[in-house]
């Protein structure tokens, strides 16, 4: 009788069994032994993990691919992106898309608000024209504003089309709040640029209506450095009373009229002409300075090449700060001032009216 080597048979059986089990183990992107837990979610073990019993969650897409490979419905060498990367990519894409949608909506609403405000400003300029204002200057202002409105409408249509065509979203970017406060109107109004001569520096004007602690309406004529990395982007500010802001507007209208005369007469000599200065008691003689006195000047300038510009200059004793504006920007700036004067006064009167004053409106 042949003697059977039991130890040898056991070793062969063990080797065969282990190899067969390993052959049935599918490893994709370092993950194996994937199972669905009682909570309904899919989990897998990762090769080289500190604990062999530690599972980590995977996406449904990865689990489906793993099951297909395990059951033989696809080849075992199928390449599948690691679940964490899939999850992160999906999350990142969703975050990016949502961010883009929110940004596009915000931009579209902002543009819509600018269109609404500028349309109102055009109507205000037409009223000034019918009331006998400088027809040439106001007509040029209206033309400039209408050109800007056309540009904004085109921009709005582009943003609205992007939202509609690329993103399945119910967003309707036409919900700009037309019942604006004076301050909000000052923010929405398309900013008018200035430049500092002799430097590459530029910025924007911002006219902010505020009520002082003593209950007076004032306007902060701000010079904003939009490219500044500082937290405070307002490089300078001039507080103006309503009548001083009105003087500034009239000076800008005169600036445009003077520019037309300079071009008609073909003047090509350096010349600075003061159009306005306030407060009058603190204003120095033209071209000079007063120590320990602060004042604001509006100056019309002609350059040697025949070009013309305006300058808003703040005198601080013997020191001066100047911000130049092109003639075309001067047109839009005077319309901006006129609008803010109307809005600021209306907002101030509504907020300071007594109950008796309001009741008189409805008698």
Q: Which of 21-30, 137-146, 167-176, 199-208 has the lowest average pLDDT?
A: 167-176
In a domain, 1, yes or no: no
pLDDT of 48 higher than 70: yes
* Closest-CA residue to 65 (of 31, 37, 39): 31
Number of domains in the chain: 3
Percent of the chain at pLDDT > 90 equals 36
Alpha helices in 207-302 (DSSP H): 242-264
Residue 302 pairs in a beta bridge with 271, 308
pLDDT at 117: 83
In a domain, 358, yes or no: no
Contacts of 39 (CB under 8 A, 6+ apart): none
Residue with tokens 């200057």: 137
Q: What is the pLDDT of residues 306-338, one digit of tens each?
A: 999 999 999 999 999 999 999 999 999 999 999
In a domain, 359, yes or no: no
pLDDT of 6 higher than 70: no
Q: What is the pLDDT of residues 183-228, one digit of tens each?
A: 666 666 767 899 998 899 999 999 999 999 999 999 999 999 988 8
Contacts of 216 (CB under 8 A, 6+ apart): 241
Residue predicted with more confidence, 240 or 168? 240
Highest-confidence range of 13-27, 55-69, 215-229, by mean pLDDT? 215-229
* Closest-CA residue to 70 (of 33, 29, 20, 16): 33
**Residue 176 banded pLDDT, cuts 50, 70, 90:** very low
* Closest-CA residue to 118 (of 172, 176, 60): 176
Cα-based distances in Å from 39 to 33, 42, 51, 57:
17, 9, 22, 11
Percent of the chain at pLDDT > 70 equals 74
pLDDT at 84: 47
pLDDT at 164: 62
pLDDT of 168 higher than 60: no
Residue 205 pairs in a beta bridge with 192, 223
Q: Are residues 210 and 110 in the same domain?
A: no
pLDDT at 305: 93
Q: Which of 17-31, 111-125, 213-227 has the lowest average pLDDT?
A: 17-31
pLDDT at 104: 60
Q: What is the average pLDDT value for the chain, to the nearest integer?
A: 79
Residue with tokens 């837990």: 37
Which of 153, 179, 205 is the endpoint of a domain?
A: 179
Q: Are residues 211 and 164 in the same domain?
A: no
Residue predicted with more confidence, 47 or 168? 47
pLDDT of 23 higher than 60: no
pLDDT of 244 higher than 70: yes
Q: Are residues 175 and 197 in the same domain?
A: no
pLDDT at 223: 94
Q: Are residues 316 and 196 in the same domain?
A: yes
Q: Are residues 264 and 286 in the same domain?
A: yes
3-state secondary structure of 113: helix
Range of the domain at 158: 98-179
In a domain, 324, yes or no: yes
Q: Are residues 43 and 164 in the same domain?
A: no
Other CB atoms within a 10 A radius of the CB of residue 235 amount to 16
Distance CA 320, CA 238 (A): 13
**Residue 152 banded pLDDT, cuts 50, 70, 90:** confident
- CA 53-58-63 angle, to 5 degrees, is 100
Contacts of 162 (CB under 8 A, 6+ apart): 104
Using CB atoms within 10 A of its CB, is residue 224 exposed (0-12), middle (13-18) or buried (19+)? Answer: middle
Residue predicted with more confidence, 273 or 3? 273
Highest-confidence range of 134-143, 227-236, 311-320, by mean pLDDT? 311-320
pLDDT of 237 higher than 90: yes
Q: Are residues 143 and 163 in the same domain?
A: yes
In a domain, 91, yes or no: no
Q: Are residues 33 and 132 in the same domain?
A: no
* pTM higher than 0.85: no
In a domain, 243, yes or no: yes
| Contact call for residues 94 and 102 (beta carbons, < 8 A) | no
Which of 147, 179, 211 is the endpoint of a domain?
A: 179
**Residue 283 banded pLDDT, cuts 50, 70, 90:** very high
Residue with tokens 């000052």: 186
Q: What is the pLDDT of residues 66-116, one digit of tens each?
A: 888 777 654 444 444 444 444 454 444 454 455 555 566 667 767 777 888
What strands, in cross-sheet order, belong to the sheet with 319-326?
234-240, 217-224, 202-211, 192-195, 319-326, 308-316, 294-302, 271-278
Cα-based distances in Å from 11 to 5, 16, 18, 23, 25:
10, 9, 11, 18, 21
pLDDT of 182 higher than 80: no
Q: Are residues 121 and 41 in the same domain?
A: no
pLDDT at 144: 86
Alpha helices in the chain (DSSP H): 6-24, 60-70, 83-130, 135-166, 182-188, 242-264, 327-352, 355-360
Q: What is the pLDDT of residues 284-308, one digit of tens each?
A: 999 899 999 999 999 999 999 999 9
């Amino acid at each position: 009788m042949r003697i059977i080597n039991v130890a040898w048979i056991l070793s062969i059986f063990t080797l065969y069994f282990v190899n067969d089990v390993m052959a049935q183990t599918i490893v994709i992107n370092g993950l194996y032994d994937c199972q669905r837990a009682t909570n309904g979610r899919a989990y897998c073990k990762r090769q080289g993990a500190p604990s062999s019993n530690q599972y980590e969650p995977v996406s449904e897409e990865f689990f489906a691919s793993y099951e297909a490979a395990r059951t033989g419905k696809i080849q075992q060498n199928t390449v599948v992106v690691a679940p964490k990367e899939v999850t992160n990519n999906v999350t990142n894409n969703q975050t990016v898309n949502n961010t883009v949608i929110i940004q596009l909506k915000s931009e579209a609403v902002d543009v819509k608000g600018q269109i609404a405000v500028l349309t109102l400003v055009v109507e205000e300029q037409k009223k000034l024209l019918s009331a006998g204002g400088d027809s040439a200057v106001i007509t040029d202002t209206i033309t400039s504003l209408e050109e800007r409105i056309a540009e904004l409408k085109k921009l709005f249509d582009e943003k609205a089309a992007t939202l509609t065509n690329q993103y399945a979203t119910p967003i309707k970017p036409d919900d700009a709040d037309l019942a604006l406060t004076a301050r909000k109107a000052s923010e929405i109004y398309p900013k008018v640029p200035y430049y500092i001569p002799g430097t590459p520096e530029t910025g924007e004007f911002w006219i902010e209506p505020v009520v002082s602690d003593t209950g007076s309406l004032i306007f902060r004529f701000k010079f904003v450095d939009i490219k500044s990395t500082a937290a405070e982007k307002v490089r300078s500010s001039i507080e103006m009373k309503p009548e001083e802001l009105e003087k500034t507007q009239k000076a800008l209208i005169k600036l445009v009229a003077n520019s037309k005369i300079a071009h008609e007469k073909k003047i090509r000599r350096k010349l600075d002409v003061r159009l306005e200065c306030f407060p009058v008691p603190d204003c120095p003689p033209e071209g000079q300075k007063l120590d320990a006195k602060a004042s604001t000047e509006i100056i019309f300038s002609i350059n040697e090449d025949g070009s013309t510009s305006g300058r808003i200059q703040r005198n601080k004793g013997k020191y001066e700060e100047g911000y130049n504006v092109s003639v075309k920007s001067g047109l839009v700036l005077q319309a901006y001032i006129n609008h803010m004067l109307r809005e600021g006064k209306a907002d101030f009167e509504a907020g300071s009216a007594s109950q008796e004053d309001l009741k008189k409106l409805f008698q």
